[in-house]
Structure 1
């Protein structure tokens, strides 16, 4: 954060009235309303229905932290959702909802960030407790400060309304070590997160939840966070992964024992609801498709039988995208999530799931496409020489053939991928270089910013990390002319069409 950083406002939210409702009857009423909303076609008046935090409050387990870059999580919330910092001049802009209880104003971000890159510098807490997430500092596992997420790498729609998630590449992380109301010790709590179930890896650790306040590993049971990924060093579930598990520190747990839980399945939903909750000698994992259907319970029972987890020793910090000691080798995408005071009932969580389904998460139209990437100046196609799957081969242009080594997929998160002999590789700025002349190669996909590309209306394809254009060397037109990064000029050797 630079000298442009300002004091983060405290947002006041009138949730006290909801807590006075009769809890059992209120939960049933909210569940009925949420289920009815799940069948609707979607509209702009989201404020007419309760949000996830209204539902939790009705169940007697109010939100103590509520984070989302896609929508308001209370029906009456009208404050900022997140803040972006513009790379060109370090200016700041709060991005709010379109109205109370509404969807994010993505158009405001697009206008503010036009022609440059923006980073998500603050994810505001909507609960009124000031538990905002900002750039994570260094910790015992890795120095800092961590990277901030590029603001436009996870585009989605909610009932047709454009929004952006938080794209976490390895090295990216958010944290708040001085929170209010978050569970400590063995106090009960719940949490959920809506994630991209196709964006993960085996690095440690893509978490959202309760962590240490010191940025260090302080022992077993000092964390309680949702984990998503396919690491198998500690606990794991059935199939190849990824799995929803709990990071309880010094272990990712899928059940009562460290190690394998056959009832914790591999999940692959494009939009995933992941839940973890814990109380004295009781905890659970639940998950489901965020676009349809109900939740499944993957574990519910006593605390792990290893030492240090009963009772728990939670410290009350909040993390996103990293482990408690700032382990930051993971990747994933976060859209919304909350933490509660108290152990939510299954009935309350089922109502939250119905609300999420009714929100209508979907991929943004036009963000994914597959075909040849044809150069405007040469009329030739971006090509992987000899269809080689060897990492580090420099890309070139070649007469278009329609072959697999010229078939590129633009993914929703900004990658350009090619599949060669069953191996998916990403278009990559070699060595994370940013200088003119940096080779553009194919490399195993790793979520790095040097593998993310922004398509512009003028036909240029710009590397997110470098800000430089995908360029045919020397404006050449011959087969085999290499492709590189170069300062954007608007010339025809830097213009491309995909399809």
Structure 2
């Protein structure tokens, strides 16, 4: 087990007043609607207009020193430059995600439960602090990149719903980062990290697992993890009204009360949220009434199942069942916050194949690149340089994404090669989701539109296919 995390007294409090640009946050809107936040987590921005405390804590590998990362101004965006400076020349892990509600419901390294994690003592892994770069209102920030085995938890949360009490929750996820493992959740779970039976959880799930339930299409879906079941509606398995949804920035909402619950979702960058289900509890024994226990999880199942993948930017849990009108106002606030990819012309993070839900993976020099399950490892961590290169540092070397042999024809292999400044190592990340070679004008392409583990990557004529869509950062 890692050394105990020390959360300094006052670390997450602040007295600054809000700037005009941050007059209110999501939790101010929930409070005005009569359903105040009892937990508010974000590594990207303040969720109250007056919040000026710390958002999260990082620990650097070089000396195990920790630092709290706060906001640029009250109610504002994370001070990512503080993380960049502190972690320069080494790597950092996110050790604490602070609760902004004032209740102390902070998220820390998840302990073992029904399943043990891969870290010492059976704890789950912590997220690499630089693996999910983003922008908020044009300012650089970082999300929480959850590779399988990563998880955060608070089994002693206060003020959260228990039993059949009403509650609401939302989260902003990367809708292109998911898998079919159990279970990428955020929300209410068991206090002993074990499966305590039907109805002992109520959490947002995002992914494309079909073992318990699923919706229309091939996924991913927003579903409710209610323990021993992922529900897309009233039926135990299939519910046609829950659509596949994969916006780059995704708003996911679950809320539940006595014999009523709902699923809502939408694009966190534009528009409103839609209702995919609103009705009675599932038609399966054990879910009415609910037996919620009130712990909080991020990135795992309630029993510490650790097979999932996803990226989290912000989320809250409320006391009481929020109205649709309140949630619509929260969605407007999220859109106005201005989530965006990258961080200007540079940035570091994964390059995800949208069509396959996997990450671009480097290998040894002059070996053709492949797509593989996203792991957050160095060979999947790419840096965009100001001169248009994509570099990865692994195996003791920094290598560039390279069109093999300076090829400019469809079918040219894409490899890693020592950086040399030539045109076949320059790439344009386009607003339509494609990545094109500067020298060839061709698109980075997963061969044959494959979604399989280990599928090779090449240059190909741009054709608008999903196998030529990439999410960078």
TM range (shorter): 0.7 to 0.9
Change (3 A) 1:484 1:160: closer
Contact 2:348 2:382 in 1 (8 A): no
Structure 1 residue 154: deviation in Å? 1.3
Structure 1 residue 362: deviation in Å? 1.0
Contact 2:345 2:384 in 1 (8 A): no
Quote the residue 1:318 is aligned against. 296
3-state DSSP of counterpart to 1:227: strand
Alignment of 1:466-485 (within 5 A): 468-470=396-398
3-state DSSP of counterpart to 1:237: coil
3-state DSSP of counterpart to 2:336: helix
1:46 has 2:24 as partner: no
Structure 1 residue 428: deviation in Å? 3.7
Structure 1 residue 264: deviation in Å? 0.7
Alignment of 1:335-354 (within 5 A): 335-354=313-332
Alignment of 1:446-457 (within 5 A): 446-450=373-377, 451-455=379-383
Match of 1:93 among 59, 64, 67: 67
1:414 has 2:350 as partner: yes
Contact 1:84 1:151 in 2 (8 A): yes
Alignment of 1:204-223 (within 5 A): 204-223=182-201
Q: Which runs of 5+ in 1 are unaligned?
A: 15-42, 369-410, 431-436, 486-490
Contact 1:428 1:440 in 2 (8 A): no
Structure 1 residue 468: deviation in Å? 3.0
Quote the residue 1:240 is aligned against. 218
Structure 1 residue 498: deviation in Å? 3.4
Structure 1 residue 9: deviation in Å? 3.4
Quote the residue 2:133 is aligned against. 155
Paired with 2:59 and 2:213, the residues of 1 have a C-alpha distance of 38
Alignment of 1:301-450 (within 5 A): 301-365=279-343, 413-415=349-351, 426-428=359-361, 442-450=369-377
Paired with 2:384 and 2:244, the residues of 1 have a C-alpha distance of 36
Paired with 1:177 and 1:337, the residues of 2 have a C-alpha distance of 17
Quote the residue 1:393 is aligned against. none
Query: Deviations for 1:268-305, whole angstroms, at most 9, x for unmatched residues?
Result: 21111110000011101111111111111100111112
1:131 has 2:105 as partner: yes
Paired with 1:8 and 1:439, the residues of 2 have a C-alpha distance of 49
Quote the residue 2:410 is aligned against. none
Structure 1 residue 460: deviation in Å? 9.1
Change (3 A) 1:90 1:256: same
Match of 1:271 among 230, 241, 249: 249
Q: How many residues align?
A: 408
Quote the residue 1:67 is aligned against. 41
Paired with 2:162 and 2:225, the residues of 1 have a C-alpha distance of 15
Query: Deviations for 1:450-490, whole angstroms, at most 9, x for unmatched residues?
Result: 34224386989444xx5732469xxxx999xx9899xxxxx
Match of 1:288 among 257, 266, 277: 266
Quote the residue 1:19 is aligned against. none
Q: Which runs of 5+ in 2 are unaligned?
A: 408-413, 428-473
Q: Which has the larger radius of gyration?
A: 1
3-state DSSP of counterpart to 2:55: strand
3-state DSSP of counterpart to 2:303: coil
Structure 1 residue 427: deviation in Å? 4.8
Paired with 2:21 and 2:158, the residues of 1 have a C-alpha distance of 28
Query: Deviations for 1:39-95, whole angstroms, at most 9, x for unmatched residues?
Result: xxxx97433x21100111111110000000110000111000011111111111111
Change (3 A) 1:448 1:54: same
Quote the residue 2:53 is aligned against. 79
Structure 1 residue 323: deviation in Å? 0.3
Please, what TM-score do these two structures have when normalized by structure 1? 0.75
Match of 1:105 among 79, 82, 91: 79
Paired with 2:47 and 2:5, the residues of 1 have a C-alpha distance of 25
Please, what TM-score do these two structures have when normalized by structure 2? 0.78
Quote the residue 1:371 is aligned against. none
Contact 2:177 2:358 in 1 (8 A): no
Query: Deviations for 1:205-261, whole angstroms, at most 9, x for unmatched residues?
Result: 110000011111110000000001111111111111111110000000011110111
Paired with 2:158 and 2:396, the residues of 1 have a C-alpha distance of 43
Change (3 A) 1:258 1:492: closer
Change (3 A) 1:367 1:269: farther
Contact 1:146 1:171 in 2 (8 A): yes
Alignment of 1:119-198 (within 5 A): 119-143=93-117, 144-198=122-176
Contact 1:45 1:102 in 2 (8 A): no
Structure 1 residue 199: deviation in Å? 0.9
